[in-house]
């Protein structure tokens, strides 16, 4: 950030006054930004860490690494990563079709993509549980194949895919709209096939954007509660996710235990998001070369 020219600090002035003097020279836009982030983001996270710190380290470790907690981490993060990966592929395909092709009811389908944003998550979970149940429209077709969706871990994955799909589509779509067709035409003129053009010309600049959509979808899937709690059986060691475990601990008035699980969830999510952001930065540097 760019601040006003530095001034000489008076050593005779108390440190807090020097700090206030320097703070007055910070642009007002930065003050509003930092104040808003402090109230809405930093303070709640700090309060959560303080609440978790009330537990002794041994107790904290015991809660965070209990068998049921480890099982919920597995269900939550592995399923979320799988859902984000699938949405990265099919969300990009949907964005490609919406940008590059004209067809009947295109505007209706384009608007429908945003439906998971507006639909209450509990309604989404109820709808998915009904459609994918053994006698539902899709579940009845899968039952003869021995595939059960509702009230299983697979159902949790379906719910995560449903609620996180728009993040990939809406992230990739504007970039595709701005891409110049002349580059593709030049590639075809040089003898490249459509697949080679996509793989070597279109995908490299699009890859960081796809990763952004995947990261957004992953973070949304990790924090999902309303739809997954309905479509899953919430059975420990099978399809119980971490947000539901947190709610169960709150129902038992175990606030510090719930906060410990939340801290672990926050830490793992942050590490994975940083890893995805690192891949984004690497892809941009690679593309610039």
If we measure between CA atoms, which residue out of 8, 42, 43, 46 comes closest to residue 25? 8
Domain 57-288 has CATH 2.60.40.10: no
117-129, pLDDT tens digit by residue? 888 888 999 999 9
- Has residue 108 got a pLDDT over 80? yes
Which of 48, 72, 46, 76 minimizes the C-alpha distance to 256? 48
- Cα–Cα distance for residue pair 129/234, rounded to 1 Å: 13
**Per-residue pLDDT tens for 223-237?**
888 899 999 999 999
The tokens for 170 are 């809406």
Question: Angle at which helices 79-100 and 203-222 pack, to 10 degrees?
Answer: 130
Q: Which pLDDT score is estimated for 53?
A: 84
As a whole number, mean pLDDT of residues 146-154 equals 92
Reply yes or no on whether the pLDDT at 205 is more than 90. no
Cα-only R_g, the chain? 24
In whole angstroms, what is the distance from residue 194 CA to residue 184 CA? 9
pLDDT digits (tens, 9 = 90+) for 16-58: 677 667 767 777 788 788 889 999 988 988 888 888 888 898 9
The answer to whether the pTM exceeds 0.85 is: no
Residue 78 has pLDDT above 90, yes or no: yes
Q: pLDDT tens, 258-285?
A: 999 999 998 888 888 888 878 777 766 6
Task: Look over the chain and give the mean of its residue pLDDT values, rounded to a whole number.
Answer: 86
- Structure token digits, residue 275: 């890893």
Does residue 167 or residue 180 have the better pLDDT? 167
Q: What is the pLDDT of residue 89?
A: 94
Can you read off the two tokens belonging to residue 172?
């990739």
Q: Which pLDDT does position 4 carry in this prediction?
A: 47
Tell me the domain boundaries of the chain. 23-52, 57-288
């Amino acid at each position: 950030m760019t601040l006003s020219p530095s001034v000489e600090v008076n050593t005779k002035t108390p440190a807090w006054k020097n700090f206030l003097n320097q703070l007055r020279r910070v642009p007002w836009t930065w003050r509003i930004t930092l104040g808003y982030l402090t109230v809405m983001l930093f303070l709640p996270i700090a309060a959560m860490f303080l609440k978790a710190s009330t537990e002794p380290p041994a107790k904290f470790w015991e809660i965070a690494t209990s068998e049921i907690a480890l099982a919920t981490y597995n269900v939550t993060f592995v399923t979320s990563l799988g859902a984000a990966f699938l949405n990265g592929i099919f969300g990009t395909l949907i964005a490609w079709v919406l940008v590059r092709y004209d067809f009947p009811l295109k505007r209706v389908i384009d608007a429908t993509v945003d439906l998971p944003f507006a639909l209450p998550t509990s309604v989404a979970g109820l709808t998915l549980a009904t459609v994918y149940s053994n006698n539902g429209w899709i579940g009845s077709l899968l039952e003869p194949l021995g595939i059960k969706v509702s009230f299983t871990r697979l159902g949790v994955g379906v719910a995560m895919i449903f609620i996180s799909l728009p993040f990939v589509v809406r992230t990739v779509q504007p970039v595709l709209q701005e891409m110049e067709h002349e580059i593709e035409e030049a590639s075809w003129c040089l003898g490249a096939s459509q697949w080679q053009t996509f793989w070597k010309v279109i995908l490299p600049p699009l890859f960081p954007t796809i990763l952004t959509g995947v990261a957004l979808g992953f973070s949304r899937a990790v924090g999902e509660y309303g739809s997954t709690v309905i479509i899953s059986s919430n059975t420990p060691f099978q399809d119980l996710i971490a947000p539901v475990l947190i709610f169960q601990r709150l129902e038992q008035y175990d606030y510090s235990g719930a906060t410990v699980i939340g801290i672990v969830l926050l830490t793992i999510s942050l590490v994975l998001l940083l890893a995805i952001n690192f891949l984004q930065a690497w892809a941009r540097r690679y593309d610039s070369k």
